[in-house]
Amino acid sequence: MKLKSIPIILFYSLSFLSFSQTEINDNQMSWIKGWTNFDPNQREYPEPEEVLPNIIDSNSYLKNDVTYLMSGNVYVINNATLTIQEGTIIRCDVENAASLVITKGSKLIARGTKGFPIVFTSNKAQKSRKAGDWGGIIIAGSGIINSPAVSKTIEGNFLPQYSSYGGTQENELTTMMSYVRIEYAGKKINQSKELNGLSLYALGSNSIINNVMISYSADDSFECFGGRVNMSNLISYKAKDDDYDFTLGYNGELSNILAIRHPYISDVSGSYVIEADGYDKKEGFIDLEALSNIRIKNATLINLSDQNNYQHTTAAISSKNLAKLNLTNMRISGFANVVKFDKTYKSYSDLQKYFSLENSVFNVHSKSVLTQYSATINTDQLLKYNMYTNHFKSAADLFTDPFDQKKPIFTLKDSENYTVMQ
């Protein structure tokens, strides 16, 4: 289970690891405390008292002294703003599957606090909730997408008059979301398509999204279709499909993100922590200089695999259609590979142009970089100056307490010797 094709290496003392990694962990992991829930099926939520209307066409306010039921699709239309008070709980119908759709021109203001997060969850009883119990949250903006069609239609079976997104307002404020939990979303639409926990369509750069946790989504947790919104303090926990998905020329930065996967939870088509598409392959693009450009710093990407089940894992990152990824201060552990490139990257110079990984640690059980072009050059050089494990390690070997059911701790232990790519 040794890493293959390892170039000349240098061994560093623990002081090198401690200097860079402790600072990263201290800065990154404190933000998950106080508002998250890593065992939501054990939480008993109050019964709904009020049903949300399916059409919200004027400014509306949800109060935290009422528990709401969202039954069927709820559309916020007519440039209205839906404001949700801190601590509000919205239970989502399983029988009449619910989705919240913020239509183009309208706004969602959902600003919880660390002590009183806003929660969207299944209407099923404690211990009976499952991934895909309800639809998800869809926010459609008027920002920029890199597509021959300036305006497109959101995915899913939604009313066509409320389904358009995209435009020219790159600085639009479409939403303000802070301290929000989204649990058990991702309802299946048909045999090949499910909804995401949070779908962000062409959001402008003035939108605010931070401290959002998505747990047990039956499809992607977060998916961005174009737009310019930056995001921080995001958690994807045990999603079935991708944790963070980008396409249609998304251009933005994510900081402080966490993704926890399980080797037995995956979509049949293959699932990744990060799936980046430079453009929609079916439709093409209008600007080669405006393909998806994703910048991520301070991230922990963990597959909870061990020596008994690691063979079920795939790459942590899938990069397709000339997407550009710039990654710094990453901890990538428990996967088969760090990154997998499709055939649009035709040479090593393409890889260098469109991908970088710096000041990071990775622990994988197979070849660290996968490409679809034949070349004699050692592609592991793409990861030089990062640290890696000489042998595959389980999550329990590397992280403090990743399997705790209520309060897992995902900081790296300081007891391992790492090797530096050189």
* Tens-digit pLDDT profile for residues 286-321: 999 999 999 999 999 999 988 888 888 999 999 999
Residue 125: the pLDDT is: 96
For residue 255, the one-letter residue type is S
CATH code for the part of the protein at 9-421 = 2.160.20
* Tens-digit pLDDT profile for residues 111-137: 999 999 999 999 999 999 999 999 999
Name residue, tokens 């606090």. 113
Least confident piece of the model among 47-56, 198-207, 341-350, 376-385? 376-385
Residue 29: the pLDDT is: 79
Residue 9: the pLDDT is: 34
Can you give the residue ranges of every domain in the chain? 9-421
Residue 191: the pLDDT is: 60
* Tens-digit pLDDT profile for residues 169-196: 999 999 999 999 999 999 987 766 789 9
* Burial environment of residue 87 by CB neighbours within 10 A (0 to 12, 13 to 18, 19 or more): middle
* Tens-digit pLDDT profile for residues 35-48: 999 999 999 999 99
> Per the structure block, which two tokens stand in for 51?
């049903």
- Return the half-sphere exposure (C-beta side, CA atoms, 13 A cut-off) of residue 330: 27
Residue 5: the pLDDT is: 35
Total length of the chain: 422
Residue 421: the pLDDT is: 76
Average pLDDT along the chain: 90
pTM as predicted: 0.93
